[in-house]
Each structure stands twice: as structure tokens, then as C-alpha cells.
A and B are shown apart, each in its own frame.
Chain A
Amino acid sequence: MPGVSDSRWAAQGTNPGEIEAALRSMLTERHAENESYVPARVLNMVCVVDKAWSGEIANRLRQVGRYHASRTVVLSVDPTRQSLDAVATISSDVHPKAGEFALLRETVIVEVGDKHLPALDTIVDPLVVTDLPTLLWSPHGHPEAIDLLLPLAQVVLLDSVDEPDLHEALDRAEELARKVYVVDLAWLRSTPWRERVAATFDPENLRPDLRTMSAVTVRHHPESTMAALLLIGWLASRLDWEPSKLIASNGSLAGKAHARRQDVDLLLEPEPSQAVRGLAGLTLETASGRHLELDRGPGGLRAHYRNRRGDEREWTVLGASRGEPGILGEGIRQALLRDPTYAPALDAANAFAP
């Protein structure tokens, strides 16, 4: 990820010790050049990518905005490669000004072959900064590599909508969540929606209505069924609904959850006009006659509300779209936080999955 001020080192047929020594040497040189250069020490991020798609991943990482890991180690898998080639870069987004410091971030790209995969941990271990949390991301699969690297990591980043098979996506996320903290981009895409539903029912006089929720419809990008499942999983886990399997019908998923007072009708509908991954809209109804619709709109979510007397109101819930690069950046930031509601939502989503 080039900055305005870079140092670069490259070698063929190298090894982790040499790479690590090169990083140390470059950091020392930069600091000697100007003591305002200081290394960021926040997070290690280890990415396992297919070499053919590494450019696309580099682009995605470049666009995440201000949420960069302080040291990024990219393992670029080229199946036939026999030796390790590496490029290490130390970069800063700014030239240091008098009295201010300039953060340095380190990026290491190591080209590995299939033959290196069984011992990938011995390549990564010397390259991550000790005592910093380590985030693993493998956007092109390679589950065996992730499993091997898990002991070195505290957090795994995944996007559960990447996996076309719902059950495999859910099972893999649950398996990982039992071992480490999981940051799921599909979950993060639903954050504004969850915030708004929570806010709608936050006034004390409306909280009892949560018990009377009678129907939930989630409209989603055709490839983001998982995101919709996670949203109803979240509602079920927070509101103590008993999930039951949804049934596929005409491209949608429909079914019921059992709440204490009544059943809740559930419908997950693909929205073909939705261009970006994630949710397109949400409708909540209560047995007491309240009806809330939230849909994507310019400048935020367009809200449509009808009360029990039938009075209707519309307004915009303000908020800028983060876009896919923003979501990835948010995923990196979330690696340092802990959301206790994802794992229960995932459990419930699994129970809803047809």
C-alpha cells in the first residue's frame, strides 16, 4: 500500500529471518533519517490470497481509509512456486512536519507455493509483531491455511456471504467462532439496520412492543441471504425467540419463530435491484399494529412508520453509505473490539437456515 514516503526491500529465495531483519533495518533507517517517523503498533493482519487475485486484494486494502493494520503480511499463493520471494515496504501517508510525528506502516508480501502451505505458521510467526493482536483474512478460501495459523491469531476476518452454500458458511463461521473472535463483514453490513431497530424501540413506552413483534421481512441482495439470516438471528437471540427452519419458496425463505406471546412470521426476500452486498430493506410489524419499514435511500435509510391508529410518517435516518472498502476498513477496526451478540446471532441464524 504505497504512501507518500516509502522504503522498499525485495529479495528472491529469501526466508522469514531475512525479511524480519530487513524490516528492522528499514525502521531504524527511517527513524535515523527523521525521528518524527514512528512505527504504528496496533494490529498485525495476515492475508492469505491467491496470487492471480492479489492485485484485487491489494486494491481493496488500499481503499480502506484510515483503518489500516500497522503490519500487513500478505501470503500470495502461487501453487507451483518452490522458493520464497518477498517484498517489504515501510510507508507513511505524510511527510513529517516539525513537532508532529509520522506513522509508519509495514507491508510484507511473501510469495509462497503449495509446498509451503503445510508449514505456513513457521513463515508467519517471525513476521508478526509480538504482543500485538493478529487478524487473519483469507478471502480466497484456503481454510487449511487459516486452521494452521489460528494459534498465532486472536481474530479471523471473514465475509460469510462469500460462501454460496449457506450451511457451509454457517458451519465454518461457527467453527471459527468457537476458537477465536470472528469479525464477519456480513454482520457489519447490518450494523446501521440493527442500530435503527434498537433506536426505534428504545423509548421506554415502546420497549414492551418488542414482545409483540409479529412479522419481519428482510429484503437483501440476491447473494446476501446470509446477511438477512444474521439479522433475524440477531432479533431471535436478543428477543428470546425459538427459531425453526425456514422454507425456500420462489427464491425467498419463509417461516416462523416462536416468541413467548405469539409466532413471528419471517420472510427473507432477494431484491434484484440491489447493486451492493447486504441488506436492501426491512419491515417490522407488531401485533399492536405498529409497522416500520426501513429502506436504503440517498443520505441514509428511508423510514416509513405507521402507528396502531393508522397514522403514517416518513423520514430519513441520516448516515452515509460506507461502501465495500469502508466495510473492510470497519472489519479491521472491529478486530480490536468485541461484540458479544454476533455468536448468539450466528447460532440462531444456523437454526433458521433451511
Chain B
Amino acid sequence: MSAVVASTVENPLVEGLERLPIHPTTLVIFGATGDLARRKLLPALYNLAHEGALPERFQLIGISRSEMTDSEFGEMAVESVRQFSRRTPDEDVLEQLLEDVRYVTGMFDDGSVYEALAGTLDEFDEAAGQRIDRCFYLSTAPAFFPVIVGQLGESGLNRHEGADVRLVIEKPFGTTLAEAEQLNREVLSVFEENQVFRIDHYLGKETVQNIMALRFANGLFEPVWNRNYIDQVQITAAEDLGIGSRAGYYDSAGALRDLIQNHMLQLLCHVAMEPPVNFTADEVRNEKVKVLQAIHAPDAADVDAMAVRAQYTAGEAGGEPVVGYLQEEGVAPDSNTETYAALRLEVDNWRWAGVPFYLRTGKRLARKVTEIAITLKPVPHLAFSQEGSLGVKPNQLILTVQPNEGVSLSLGAKIPGNRMRIRPVYMEFLYGTSFMSQSPEAYERLITDAMRGDATLFTRNDEVEAQWRICDPIVQQWAATPGPLPQYEAGSQGPDEANALMLGDDRWRAI
């Protein structure tokens, strides 16, 4: 027999299991009747239940302002799962998942809501005969985050003797640096940092995690992954759709806050970070914070030279005419909110000094794509004729995050024939061709990580503030500068003004 001995420290039975146990948990969703809960959180919980990936004892409590009974909330949850789950639900599993679901109605600033919540949580503990971990998921409008956190603290629900209490906070984490700092202060006056899980759902995507695997599990790339060989990096998150029904949120946020301040800076961190000592939460986040700290926050006077914003006008998408941003339902006709933002950033450290990082995101662009394009420096001496072909181009490594997640490397190759003519060809790897599994939804991964207490894929307080430190001067400068904004036609590559950000011969890649 192998000498595996039970100890108070290790559980010898978890060896070899794909899914590590999660301690019994009660999940409390604030904003449980909202769009995010219905479209993402409740279907994610069902899929985790289907796969046997929830804790062996799992309870769900919904809290919202809408008047509803437990059973009505259960019915709403069933409908949400049926409508939005990535798989057809097994009725037995769905019924068992929601068999004892609870719902608390009330305003988030009302102390009696938290008394009722505490009573229900205690009831679950009593029924289980043990103290169950508690996970509070704030899926509400951001204005309620400090209110709920304060009430949880006042009612003593931020601690639970003998069990863990965790707080999951959805984005946006503040809309300015000052707000983010204030929110951090309020949250950390009630919870310890290791109890707080700030969601950036991009980090839950397999595709983003694969960037780390590509860089740190392959010796091929590291020798050239620096300023000596890399000429520029372009990060693009383009949407072909407009704002849809999100005018209320989007018009107060804009492209910079919606995507660049969080998701795209995270992508930049994954490209630029040093290899962490290990992949524990703090080691990974330490390295990301170092990257953010190495990015110079612009002065107000520099913003116009390193940042461009624009709005889409009417145009065509998918062969159909579409309205411009200012004509979208719910958008003020004089709105100055940007639907496109592009930045040029520099990471001032030994590895990246002098390498421009271009970031752009926008709605109603030519197509939907999220990618990172890393362009290498040209070869030092060109022995080939450039005549009669596209010629030798610098190698490009393209990491496509969505759709068609993959890696593509452009290489110069000889065109068949009796002349030595070169053109770029592509060596392509598509993740979908090499794995049988369907990637879990980002929320499935993030919910289980939060319940398990693994914060690797969540943003830390200093990380959020470092992101805001970079974007806040741009937000302030744009707020202080009256419109109208530069425009781009819906379905196009974006505004011409974005070309002004490019240094030397650099050009935006075609979307």
C-alpha cells in the first residue's frame, strides 16, 4: 500500500479528483431578480449543480426589492435556467437545486432585510448541524455596493465563527479613481481583503487563462518576449453590435470605463507580466500590479496625444441599416459618451521600455473580435527581392480571445515558382480543434473559485486602483472637454482620428 496517511492538514482522498471539494456554502445573491442574475448567475448555478460541482450542501437565498415569495423566486429561477442555461436542464436536478430556495424582499438600506437574512442563514446552519460558509454576491447597481456592505457589517454578517464569509462584487468597481478608493475603504472597513472577490468576468474565461499557459508553459516565446524583439502590441476588443438595451448603463459609462479600465488592462497585464513564482492568487496579482504601476498615468495635457474617443453614426451592419449612437433608444441626443476608445500606453520597465501598447475598443465596428496582436521587429537584413509580391513582413503572433480562440503566427514563405518571392502565410492553432471539452461559462468558474476562496481570477484592491490611476486622468480630461465627439460610421474600422495614436509606421490591424 502507498504510504498516504490522513492528517489534520491534508485530505488524502482529494488526490486524483478533478474537482476539489468546496465547503458547504450558502450563496446570497443581492439583486437576484436582475438581468445578470437571470442571464448568468442562476444558469451558472444550475450547470454547476448538473455537473456535481456545487458544494455537497448548497443553499441559495435571493434578495431584491421586488415583492416575491420563495416559490415565486424559485419559479423565476427555473424560467431563467430554462431560457439561458448552456444545456437543457435535467428536471430532477433543477427541482432539487431550488427545492429549498429562499427569497428576502426589501430595500438594501433597510436593516430589517438583514435581520431576515440572518435568520434564514441561521436556519440553514441549524438544519445542516454545522456552520456553513456564506458567500454574499453583489449583483446590484454599483450605488448599492457600499450600502449593502455597510449593512452586512452592522448586522454582524461579515463574520461567522467557525466558517468563512466571502463578498463577491460585480463590476464596475467605481467610476473614477476617487470612487474606487472610497469603495475600497468602505469595503475593507467591514471585510478583510482576503474575503473580497472583485469580479472581472474576463479573468474567468479560459481564453484569458490560456495567455498565461501560452507564455509560461512554452519555452519558445520567452526569449523573444521583450523590447529587443517586439515592436508593438495591439489589443482590440471590437463589437459589431450596438448598445442594445443597455443604454441606461452604457451612456453613463462609455467604452473606456466599460472595457478598457478593467478587461483590456487585464489583457495587457497578462501579456506584459513577469512569470510569477507560482500561480497562487497573490503571486499572480503581484506581477500584474507591477505592470500597472509601470504604466505612466497621463497628465491632462497629454491625454489628447495618447487617447482617442468617438461615437458611431448611422451606417450598415450585416447588410442592414442601423442607427447612430445618438439615435439609440435611451440615449440623450446630446450625449458625449464615447462608443469607441483607443489608447497608446507604455510599460516603463526593463522588459518593455519603448514598446507601444495600443488598445482599442468600440461598438458597431466591422466585426466582433477580441485579440492581442504582437508584432515582432523586422529582420535586420533583407536578402529577398520585394518585387512582385507582398514581400517580407514582420512576424506577428495573434492571440485571438474570441471568437475562434486560437494562436496564429505569420511567417514569411516562398511563393511557389521559379523566383524567390516571399509573402506572409499563417500557422494557425485553434483551441477548439485540440480539446474535446466545452469551456465552462466564466461565471461557473468564478462562482466556484469564490466559494472555494481562491482569488487568483479576481482583482485585488491595489490592482483596481492601479487600473483607475491610468484611466482616471483620461476620464477627467474627456469629461472636461465638450463635444461633439469624433465620429465613425457603424460597421466601419473606427474613427480616422485613431490613426494619430500610431507611432512611426505602425498601423492598426484590420478588425
Given A195-B21, A202-B21, the answer on whether A319 and B1 have CB atoms closer than 8 Å is no
Count A-B pairs with CB separation below 8 Å.
163
Closest to A38 in B: B433
Contact with A along B9-29 (1 / 0, CB 8 A): 111111111110111000000
- Neighbour of A199 across the interface among B21, B95, B435, B437, CB < 8 A: B21
Given A103-B433, A318-B49, A320-B93, the answer on whether A194 and B403 have CB atoms closer than 8 Å is no
Please, how many angstroms separate the alpha-carbon atoms of A202 and B16 in the complex? Answer: 15
Contact with A along B118-153 (1 / 0, CB 8 A): 000000000111100000000000000000000000
Residues in A294-311 with C-beta less than 8 Å from chain B? 298-300, 303, 305, 307, 311
B430 part of interface (Cβ distance < 8 Å): yes
State the main secondary structure of chain A at its contact with B.
Answer: mixed
Please, how many angstroms separate the alpha-carbon atoms of A196 and B404 in the complex? Answer: 36
Closest to B162 in A: A205
List residues of chain B with CB within 8 A of the CB of A260: 5
Q: Evaluate contact between A348 and B1: CB separation under 8 angstroms.
A: yes
Q: Evaluate contact between A317 and B52: CB separation under 8 angstroms.
A: yes
Q: Evaluate contact between B129 and A210: CB separation under 8 angstroms.
A: no
B498 part of interface (Cβ distance < 8 Å): no
Q: Evaluate contact between A342 and B16: CB separation under 8 angstroms.
A: yes
| Closest-CB distance, B354 to chain A (whole angstroms) | 35
Please, how many angstroms separate the alpha-carbon atoms of A347 and B94 in the complex? Answer: 39
Please, how many angstroms separate the alpha-carbon atoms of A144 and B269 in the complex? Answer: 54
Closest to A206 in B: B11
| Closest-CB distance, B12 to chain A (whole angstroms) | 5
Q: Evaluate contact between B49 and A319: CB separation under 8 angstroms.
A: yes
Segment at the interface with B among A170-178, A222-230, A236-244, A265-273? A236-244
B90 part of interface (Cβ distance < 8 Å): yes
- Neighbour of B2 across the interface among A195, A311, A344, CB < 8 A: A344
Closest to A97 in B: B403
Q: Evaluate contact between A66 and B437: CB separation under 8 angstroms.
A: yes
| Closest-CB distance, B419 to chain A (whole angstroms) | 26
List residues of chain A with CB within 8 A of the CB of B22: 199
Q: Evaluate contact between B436 and A67: CB separation under 8 angstroms.
A: yes
B440 part of interface (Cβ distance < 8 Å): no
B4 part of interface (Cβ distance < 8 Å): yes
Please, how many angstroms separate the alpha-carbon atoms of A318 and B59 in the complex? Answer: 11
List residues of chain A with CB within 8 A of the CB of B93: 299-300, 318-320
Q: Evaluate contact between B11 and A101: CB separation under 8 angstroms.
A: no
- Neighbour of B8 across the interface among A200, A204, A339, CB < 8 A: A204
Q: Can you add 11 more A-B contacts, CB < 8 Å, to A40-B433, A67-B436? A: A42-B434, A43-B436, A101-B430, A203-B23, A240-B5, A242-B1, A298-B96, A303-B56, A315-B56, A318-B93, A318-B96
**Residues on A close to B: CB < 8 A?**
38-43, 66-68, 70, 99-101, 103, 191-192, 194-204, 207-208, 210-211, 235-243, 260, 298-300, 303, 305, 307, 311, 313, 315-321, 332-333, 336-337, 339-342, 344, 347-348
**Residues on B close to A: CB < 8 A?**
1-19, 21-23, 49-52, 54-58, 90, 92-97, 99, 127-130, 367-368, 403-404, 430, 432-438
